[in-house]
Amino acid sequence: MATTRIIPMHQNAGKTLAQCLSDRTDYAKNPDKTDEGRLVSSYECDAKTADAEFLFSKRQYRQLTGRVQESDVIAYQIRQSFKPGEVTPEEANQLGYEFAKRFTKGNHAFIVCTHIDKKHIHNHIIWNSTMLDCTRKFRNFWGSTEAVRKLSDTICMEHRLSVIENPKPHGKSYNKWLGDNAKPCNRDLLRVTIDAALSKKPKDFEAFLKLLESSGYTIKRGKNLSFAHEAQKQSIRLRSLGDGYSEAELSAVILGAKTHTPFKKKRYPTATPKPRLITQIEASLNSGKGVYYDNKVKVTRLKEMAQTLLYLEQKDYPDFAALASMADEAKGKFYTLSEKIKAAEKRMAEIAVLKTHIINYSKTRDVYAGYRKAGYSQKYLAEHENDIILHKAAKKTFDELGLKKLPTVKTLQTEYAALLAEKKAAYAGYNAAQTEMRSMLIHKANAEYLLGLDCQEEDRQKERQREEK
């Protein structure tokens, strides 16, 4: 048995909540896939009206709690597959029902739809994000994929079915996972054909099109030039092939005014493993999770030691003092940028408030002058209370800031724009500085561990001194 992760279902842009729920459940209940609906079961709802019942519970939730979340999850789905020949469709549906009941603890309505249109029988399990009592919602959690797999495997073993011993994480999409071995799509095939035709140096664009026709493509002329092939379902517009393949660019290449650069697919670099503290890894040892777990922790610890040693070798630090110095420098760089950003944000907030008060002060000046001429009349105050309150608030702010001469709104806007540009420039290096600082501090702590040093108290003192400044 194999299961995927929990798949949150969100409301699509341009569609109502009812339409989205109907689309999701209708696909799962497709009669052509579920033996005319015979392989559909449900819990605390009618499978035929599950979408309407899910929608009603969400309305009840809003009425009871008053919470409205525009980007909320409307339902959750899990796909569950079985090894061909091991279970009947009816047994697969029962197993899916048991899994959903145990995973949701009976607190959510759900439907289980068993599809038999593929070689392997598989379930689509969809449960309502709103609980049955309409007071709370299901929230996806960290490690849910592991929890789903473990429960699925447990149920599988209870019924004496096979499980996947060492499941591989699906961190990439299928095409990214295939990489260079992926089957070329129709656009890739057309690009290759175009590249081959250009290599024959046609005398003009018409000769170029004839070369494409000889390769099996039918050319459709119109507002947009497109190509069709018997091996593809839809025609492909030339402009959809990307940079270097528009009609104008290809014409320039044929005339010799431009050099053609063939299209290359993006390579997806593998993620660089982040360093971890050896002391934290060691803290997981002897935690009562078993010998197998402890052995894995020990291997992880050795790998982290090796990674730190490799890092020190690559950076070519002459001694630990040099590493500590560079770590302090990286920390100083990060905090400098952080303080610069905070100072800019603080001043920008002050400017926004000050600009508002200046505008209010200017608009209410005549009203307040009339109030003074009226001898601070209560009748006049009642008629212009809002304007007088705004004027007094502005005057109080100016006095607190010690402003004898008010700056112009244009001056404040110019200063705000300069601060915004400064903040953006600081943010450009902020994340990189933070990543570098964390990496160096972790490697420094690991080096301390490997060398048997204890510099943590010294670091804490430096941190306290920095915060006191």
Nearest to 263 by CA among 201, 191, 187: 191
Residues 6+ apart with CB under 8 A from 216: 229, 230, 231
Query: Would strands 2-3 and 236-237 be described as parallel, antiparallel, or unpaired?
Result: unpaired
pLDDT at 353: 87
Specify the higher pLDDT residue, 164 or 263. Answer: 263
pTM: 0.41
The CATH number of domain 2-158 is 3.30.930.30? yes
Element (H, E) at 12: none
pLDDT at 29: 93
**Token code pair at residue 41:** 């079961």
**Token code pair at residue 413:** 């806007």
Among 18-32, 283-297, 406-420, the range scoring the smallest mean pLDDT is 283-297
- Concatenated DSSP letters for 343-359? HHHHHHHHHHHHHHHHH
- pLDDT band, residue 171 (cuts 50/70/90): low
Burial label, 57 (beta-carbon count in 10 A; 0-12, 13-18, 19+) = buried
What separation in angstroms does the CA of 70 have from each of 16, 57, 67, 89, 135? 11, 16, 10, 38, 17
Most confident of the following: 93-97, 174-178, 179-183, 340-344:
93-97
- pLDDT band, residue 270 (cuts 50/70/90): low
pLDDT at 174: 47
**Average pLDDT of the chain?**
84
Residue-wise pLDDT for 413-457, tens only, equals: 899 889 988 888 888 788 888 888 888 888 888 888 888 876 555
Residue-wise pLDDT for 70-107, tens only, equals: 557 889 999 998 888 888 999 999 999 999 999 999 99
- pLDDT band, residue 131 (cuts 50/70/90): very high
What separation in angstroms does the CA of 188 have from each of 36, 266, 357? 40, 13, 60
